[in-house]
Amino acid sequence: MTSPVVRRKRTRSPKEIFFIIAKGIGALIFLLVALFPLAWMVIAGFKTKTEVVRTPFQFFPDVWNPQNYIDILNDPAFLRTLAVTGLGAILFTALSLTLNSLGAYAFARLDFRFKRTLWVIVISTMFIPGMTILLTSFIVVTQLRMLDTLAVLVLPGAASAAHVFFVRQFYLNVPRSLEEAAMLDGCSRLQIFLKLFVPLSKAPFVVVGVTSFMAFWNAYVWPVMTITSRDLYQVQQYLATFRSERSTELSMLMAGSALAAAPVIILFIVFQKQIIGNIKMAGLK
């Protein structure tokens, strides 16, 4: 019988231990700096009006009072804003997934005239800053009489070259044998997309869906330009109006901001592993 091989555990040198500790301390400092504004916003919602602007700065309140959160949740305008923004974000996300996945499938699997030229045009739009086309976009939606409608928030921006590129990279790695087998079974292109590619697209759809939802929820400039009716106010638009009209109630503003940030934070926490993993995978392909 042969004796088992005994593996000695490699001892780390003092230099390696130092670098590990330094990296841990650096990561902890970065985490504290990144989370400090969010933590202060949440805690400021429990402060009184004077404690928020107290000098010298005080991080924690003297007495924890949830009244600001109760008052903002009892505000019908705030609740209506959350509902309208949530509905718009869901519609925008669904439309974004539909348009961008169809575009990605077309560029990944279909052969048509001027495909390369059109792909270059699509990709080139990724390098155009959104701010540079705000005025022309506003003129277009004005002529289409879309101002003060939910459509003006949902339709523009749903098609994204970055999302098309991301999903296309995934579709390029789907084995063609699966597609050929489906064709032999008599499936059309649309059936192949719906029955084969869509079920396989959970990974990229998570990334596209979460980023689309976050982009819509956090939008401010476009809603301010196109929405004047308070019934269609978006979350960031409502908070900006609250800040200008009720400037003395900063503690309630902090409570509202914390509640408005909660859905996006929860969404990112739930899907963070899929998002990070899929982005890494897309970068390697």
**Which tokens belong to 233?**
């106010």
Q: Which pLDDT score, from 0 to 100, does residue 55 have?
A: 79
Q: Rounded to an integer, what distance in angstroms lies between the CA atom of residue 164 and that of residue 14?
A: 48
Give the pLDDT confidence of 171-194 residue by residue, as tens digits: 998 888 888 888 888 888 889 999
Asked, for residue 26, whether it belongs to a domain, the answer is no
Total structural domains within the chain:
1
Stated pTM of the model: 0.85
Q: What is the DSSP string of 154-220?
A: HSTT-S-HHHHHHHHHHHTTS-HHHHHHHHHTT--HHHHIIIIIHHHTHHHHHHHHHHHHHHHHT--
Q: What is the DSSP letter of 146?
A: -
Asked, for residue 171, whether it belongs to a domain, the answer is yes
For tokens 């970065």, name the residue: 30
Q: How confident is the model at residue 235 (pLDDT cuts 50, 70, 90)?
A: very high
Asked, for residue 177, whether it belongs to a domain, the answer is yes
Task: Please count the other Cβ atoms lying within 10 Å of the Cβ belonging to residue 211.
Answer: 19
Q: What is the CATH number of the domain that holds 121?
A: 1.10.3720.10
Asked, for residue 110, whether it belongs to a domain, the answer is yes
Range of the domain at 262: 74-284
Would you say residue 203 has pLDDT above 80? yes
Once rounded to an integer, what is the mean pLDDT over residues 17-29?
87
Asked, for residue 270, whether it belongs to a domain, the answer is yes
